[in-house]
Amino acid sequence: MATRNVAVIVGSLRKDSYNRKLAQALARLAAPGLAFQFLEIGDLPPYNQDLDSAFPAPATRLKDQIRAADAVLFVTPEYNRALPGVLKNAIDWASRPYGRSAFAGKPAAIAGASVGAVGTAVAQQQLRAILGYLDMPTLGQPEVFIHFKEGLVAEDGTITNEGTQKFLQSFVDKFTAWIEKISPAQN
């Protein structure tokens, strides 16, 4: 089967981000069926509609990378029971100008890690609503709310807990099938 390209947007800019580690572990589990490309969102300016007619270079790059991908994976923390501002800012840039969104029709999936037991569920619900508006068919199950503990992801990107590893494998397998269903590979 052809390898499909997935644009990955991590909702944390933190150097040692648990969500980035989770995304890297997912990349490992998803290969070779899915190839992950991690998108930079930390250099985007705050969204300003005045710039719709003169898009800044980082926002153009972001849109081009999303357009070139077969699907988008969002891996995000929850900040104050909400979506992190940096993630919303990236989504706002890539969705504009009106009618020229990079997201429309792209299959998507969501995962998240938090230090709290129920963390990211609220942020993920908000993100789901946004992706619905953006016309992105989003994988419904399984929902990935990871209660992250230090050491869950080893240095080489492997998941150290067997149950979590199996669960995340089922997630990437379902996401792979979802991409094929929504947007079959053109051979």
Ligand X SMILES: Cc1cc2nc3c(=O)[nH]c(=O)nc-3n(C[C@H](O)[C@H](O)[C@H](O)COP(=O)(O)O)c2cc1C
Euclidean distance between CA atoms 127 and 150, whole angstroms: 26
Q: Which of 4, 7, 8, 19 binds ligand X (CB under 6 A)?
A: 19
90 binds ligand X (CB under 6 A): no
Euclidean distance between CA atoms 45 and 51, whole angstroms: 10
Q: Which of 114, 124, 138, 176 binds ligand X (CB under 6 A)?
A: 114
Q: Where are the alpha helices (DSSP H) in the chain?
A: 18-30, 57-68, 85-94, 121-133, 162-182
115 binds ligand X (CB under 6 A): yes
119 binds ligand X (CB under 6 A): yes
53 binds ligand X (CB under 6 A): no
Tell me if 69 sits within 8 A of 9, measured CB to CB: no
164 binds ligand X (CB under 6 A): no
166 binds ligand X (CB under 6 A): no
Q: Which of 42, 105, 116, 140 binds ligand X (CB under 6 A)?
A: 116
Tell me if 21 sits within 8 A of 68, measured CB to CB: no
